[in-house]
Structure 1
Amino acid sequence: MTKRTFAQINYNPCFQFGAHQAAEIDYSTVMSIHGDHINEVHNIPIEELIQPFHSSIDESKVKSLMQTIQDHIDDVPPIDVIWIKGRLGGNYYYCFGGCHRLEAHKRLIKGTIRAKLIKANIAALKVFLGSSTPDLK
C-alpha cells in the first residue's frame, strides 16, 4: 500500500482543496484524485450540469449502473463536479468524468445525481477548455 501526502502529489494548484494540511492517502481506496478527500455529497440537478466533452458510452456499464442505482444507489460513488462562481455570482457546475453514472441517471429519469463539489476558478477551467472557456457571469 502506497501512502503519500498531498504535498507529494502533482495536482493542479488552481483547484481549492480546502485545508492545506498534508493528508495521507491510501491509494488502494482512492475513487477520485480530485474529490476523494471531500466527504460532503450533494444532490445536483442533472439539468444544471455542463458536460463540455462527451465520452463514448459502454452500454453494458450503463445497464449495470442502472440496476445498481435502482437496487443500491449508495453503492454508486458520487461524481466529481467542478463548481465555479461566475464574476457576477452565478453558479456553474462542470462535469468532466462520471459519464456512465450520469448517463444511467438520465436514462432512469432521475432529477439529481450525487456529486462531490470541487471548488475551482476560471483559470482552472481554462486548463480544460482553453480558448473555448465562456464568460461565466
Structure 2
Amino acid sequence: MSMQTTGRKIELLPIDQIMRPIPPVLDYCKIDAMVSTLEGVPKASATCKLEDITAGELPPVDVLCVSDKGKKYYFAFGGCHRFQAYERNGTQQVRCRIVPCTRSMLRIYLGASVDNFFGE
C-alpha cells in the first residue's frame, strides 16, 4: 500500500479493463509463488515470507483512474507480478485500490503518448 492509497477501499476491476502501458521485468519464481497462493497453497518467495501470506489472496494493486468524456480509463504501473499471476491463474477480477487521476497527471508517466490511450 502506498501513501496515496492509504484508507482507500478495495474494489474489484475486470483485469481486461486495466491498461499496463510499461512492459514489465519479471521474476518467474515470484509469479509461481503468487499463483500457488491464489490456489490456496501459500508459497514463500524472495520478497515475501510465508507468514506474511494470506492463502487465496494477493495484496491489491494501485490503479489510476482517469475519467474522460464520460468514460473511465484504468492504468496500472506496478503490480506486474500480481497481474501475471492473475492471468496465469485465469482470474477475471483484480483487487485494486483506485486512485483518481487526470490526463495531465498521467502525462507524467506516459509523456506525449498519453493521448494514444484515449482514442484520439
* Bin for the TM-score computed over the shorter chain: 0.7 to 0.9
The alignment status of 1:56 with 2:25, answered yes or no, reads yes
CA distance, structure 2, for counterparts of residue 114 and residue 81 of structure 1:
10
Q: How does 1:28-43 map to 2 (within 5 A)?
A: 31-38=1-8, 40-43=9-12
The alpha carbon displacement at 1:37 in A equals 3.1
CA distance, structure 2, for counterparts of residue 101 and residue 53 of structure 1:
15
The alignment status of 1:85 with 2:54, answered yes or no, reads no
Identity of aligned residues (%): 27
Partner of 1:44: 13
Unaligned runs of 5+ in 2: 41-54
Amino acid at match of 1:82: L
User: What secondary structure does 1:68 align onto?
Assistant: helix
- Greater share of helix residues, 1 or 2? 2
CA distance, structure 1, for counterparts of residue 37 and residue 96 of structure 2:
17
The alpha carbon displacement at 1:62 in A equals 0.2
Aligned length: 104
The alpha carbon displacement at 1:123 in A equals 1.0
Partner of 1:69: 38
CA distance, structure 2, for counterparts of residue 34 and residue 54 of structure 1:
23
The alpha carbon displacement at 1:129 in A equals 0.6
User: What secondary structure does 1:134 align onto?
Assistant: helix
The alpha carbon displacement at 1:70 in A equals 1.7
Unaligned runs of 5+ in 1: 1-30
CA distance, structure 2, for counterparts of residue 115 and residue 68 of structure 1:
17
Give the 4+ runs in structure 1 shifted more than 4 A. none
The alpha carbon displacement at 1:134 in A equals 1.6
CA distance, structure 1, for counterparts of residue 80 and residue 3 of structure 2:
16
The alignment status of 1:124 with 2:105, answered yes or no, reads yes
Over aligned residues, Cα RMSD in angstroms?
1.4
